[in-house]
Every structure is written in C-alpha cells, then in structure tokens.
Amino acid sequence: MKSVYFDSAATTRVRPEVIKAMQDVLEHQYGNPSSTHAFGRASKSIIETTRKTIAKELHASPQEIIFTSGGTEADNMILRCAVRDANVTTIITSPIEHHAVLHTVEELRNEYDVTVEYVKLQACGTPDYDDLERLLTANDERKLVSLMHVNNEVGNILDIDKVSSLCKANNALLHSDTVQSIGHYKWNVEETPIDFMTAAAHKFHGPKGVGFAYIKKNNTLKPLIFGGSQERGFRAGTEPVHNIKGLETAFVLAYENLDEEKHYVEALKDYFKTQITKAIPGVKFNGNCSDNTKSTYTLLNVCLPMSAEKALTLQFQLDLKGIACSKGSACQSGSGKGSHVLEHILSEEDQQKPSIRFSFCKYNTKDEVDYVVGVLKEFVEK
C-alpha cells in the first residue's frame, strides 16, 4: 500500500534544512533571549535576524513583525486589539473565513457589542466587491475589513489590491488572514497597503507552533498578553528561538525556490485535474479551484458524483489506502456538521455529495496522483 500525503493545506512536511537549523539552535543556542549574557545575546540575535529577513521580503519594517504561536493567535490578537484600541465599531468579513476569524468576531460582537457585517458572495465564493463598497460607505462608523487572501478550503484568491483601495478610500482598517498565502505568493505592503497580516510557518514547510503578525507601525494597538517585555512589549513570553529559526529557514527557502516550486506544483495540480476528469465523468471543482488565475496553485476541492450513503465511507476508505486528504462536506465520516465554506457556495444537491480537498507540495509526484485517481475511480464505480 502506498502512502500519499495530499493535505499540505492543513500542514506541510518540514524541510530537512529546517530540521537541521532547528536542531542546531536547540543544541547550541539555548540561552534565554531576554538574558544579557553572551548566551542570551546569541539567541536574541537569531530572533532579530529573522524579523529583518521577513520584513525585507514583505517590504515592511522589522518593528512591524511580531512573532506568535501561529495564525490563530495572530488573528485573535489583531481583531481583539483593533476593537479595544483602535475604536473599531464595525467589522466587515465574509461567511467563509477561517474559524479563527469567524469565531473571534462573534465573541467580539458579544463582548463589545460591535456590529458584524458579512459581505455577499458571488456564486463561486469570491466576495462581491460592490457589496463590500456598499458596506464601507453605509455610515461613518470606524470599520475593519477582515478577508482572507487565499481561502483554505477552495483556494479562491482575493483581489487584495481592490480591497485595499476600497478600504483606503473609506478610511477603514484592513486585516487579511494570509496563512495560505505567505510562502506561496510574494507580498509588498508598500504597493498594497494593508494594516494587518498573519502567517504560520507550518504552511510553508516550517515547524508548527510559530508564526507572525504584520502590524503596520502607524496602528496604536496595545498588548493582549502581559508579563514581560518580549516582542517590543507587545507579546509577553519567552520566545521559542528554535521555532523562530525554523520559521526563518523555511521562509527563506520558500521564496528562494518560489518560481521553480510553484511551476512544479501548478503542473501537478493541472495533471490531477486532467486525470480525475478523464477517470470520473461528472466530477466538479468547487469554487474557483480549477482556474489557476483565480485560485491558488496548491489545492483542488473536488465534488464527486456519488450518493450521500456511499459517501459516508469515502474518507475511511481513502485512509485505508494510505491517502491523506481533507473532507469538505457533511456527508462524510458521519459528521453532523459540514464545511461552512461549501454550505455557502454549493447547491443543496451538491452538498449531499462528498467534496474532498487535495492539496499539493514540492514533495508530491505524478505517480501519487495516478494512484489516488485510481483509488477514487474504483470507489466511485463499485
């Protein structure tokens, strides 16, 4: 039995170079970065070098990069602090954001009585930009727009330049969950003005448990976590130096090899799309994921032509065959809850069919695609 990992949108395999860099820090650079002796200064240097590396790639200032435990913490921190410290009274988001955003804005609605508005979606799941403009111009309330750059389930790419322009024209703050974007797309915060961004290292072949928030320096947010002066006083707690080094190594390698690896992964996705279309008549691609100009090159979300009853065992059967992927609808695994993303963009009929997200990386091969498509074909036909 083969072992195929097509779930890189959930988390990626760590690069060997990253493991080596982290191991070296764990073994030799174990000083507390807040200590003033040589061991501490060596650890502090790793952190500040990483901060500069990230800032240079994003065309940001080092002081605008704050290390966190990952994207969820960064999203929570930014949204909560924006309401508490930046006089935000209205949050505009979409119903298909990551739950790190959706659950947070609902909590903020309950705690601070902020108004939460959900922008309408086009049929494919892309935000309706005319409706966004309508929401931005509806009143003079202080607004924050929170829209993810790359949707983690269907891969739709937000027109971030258009959203940035709309926010700037209406004096609104802009936050984007860029967890599926950083490491896969280039960013320039000078050309595309944005107030807040978030990233997680494990989405681009780095370690879990570390990420960063980009917080534009003109914003006057205050700490959410207290207890020390780490991260320029914005986030207390002893920094995980080995994880931050792993983040830097993964980040550098992602952008050094971006063109080559993007070309390879995009070709692999196109091959998967071609093969599954030939093998399974009636297969559909959810959202914009079949169009690489409107969706990320790293994933496909497919709706398979089979009954709801048969779909119940699909995920189990794929796992038995050694295939790792992510389910996308309620009719699999006996779950009472389906994908909130697909719920908003699929017809009721297609919601009864199984949708599976396959996500790819540099370590995948065409042989793996052939194997997975063969397993799916056999299951659909039997």
Residues sharing a CB contact under 8 Å with residue 377, sequence separation 6 or more, in sequence order: 279, 280
Question: Are 173 and 77 part of one and the same domain?
Answer: yes
- Order of strands across the sheet that contains 284-285: 284-285, 299-303, 355-359, 326-327
213 phi, psi to nearest 5 deg: -115, 135
Cβ atoms of 186 and 235 within 8 Å: the answer is no
- End residue of a domain, out of 256, 271, 295: 256
Q: What range defines the domain where residue 355 resides?
A: 258-381
Asked, for residue 4, whether it belongs to a domain, the answer is no
pLDDT value of position 330: 35
Known active-site residue 331: yes
Closest CA to 1 of 377, 375, 381: 375
pTM score of the predicted model: 0.95
Question: Are 249 and 279 part of one and the same domain?
Answer: no
pLDDT value of position 329: 42
Question: Are 224 and 297 part of one and the same domain?
Answer: no
Question: Are 124 and 235 part of one and the same domain?
Answer: yes
- End residue of a domain, out of 256, 278, 294: 256
How many whole angstroms separate alpha carbon 354 and alpha carbon 336? Answer: 14
Long-range contacts of 27-34 (CB under 8 A, 24+ apart): 29/241, 29/242, 29/245, 30/241, 32/238, 33/230, 33/238, 33/239, 33/241, 34/228, 34/229, 34/230, 34/238
pLDDT in tens, the chain (382 residues): 689 999 999 999 999 999 999 999 999 999 999 999 999 999 999 999 999 999 999 999 999 999 999 999 999 999 999 999 999 999 999 999 999 999 999 999 999 999 999 999 999 999 999 999 999 999 999 999 999 999 999 999 999 999 999 999 999 999 999 999 999 999 999 999 999 999 999 999 999 999 999 999 988 899 999 999 999 899 999 999 999 999 999 999 999 999 999 999 999 999 999 999 999 999 999 999 999 999 999 999 999 999 888 888 898 999 999 999 998 543 334 445 789 999 999 999 999 899 999 999 999 999 999 999 999 999 999 8
Q: What is the tally of structural domains in the chain?
A: 2
Question: Are 239 and 267 part of one and the same domain?
Answer: no
Determine which one of 289, 303, 331, 361 is catalytic.
331
Residues sharing a CB contact under 8 Å with residue 323, sequence separation 6 or more, in sequence order: 2, 4, 6, 371, 372, 375
Question: Are 149 and 208 part of one and the same domain?
Answer: yes
- End residue of a domain, out of 239, 256, 273: 256
Question: Are 232 and 268 part of one and the same domain?
Answer: no
Whole-Å CA distances, 374 to 74, 278, 290, 305, 328: 40, 11, 20, 15, 20
CATH assignment at residue 262: 3.90.1150.10
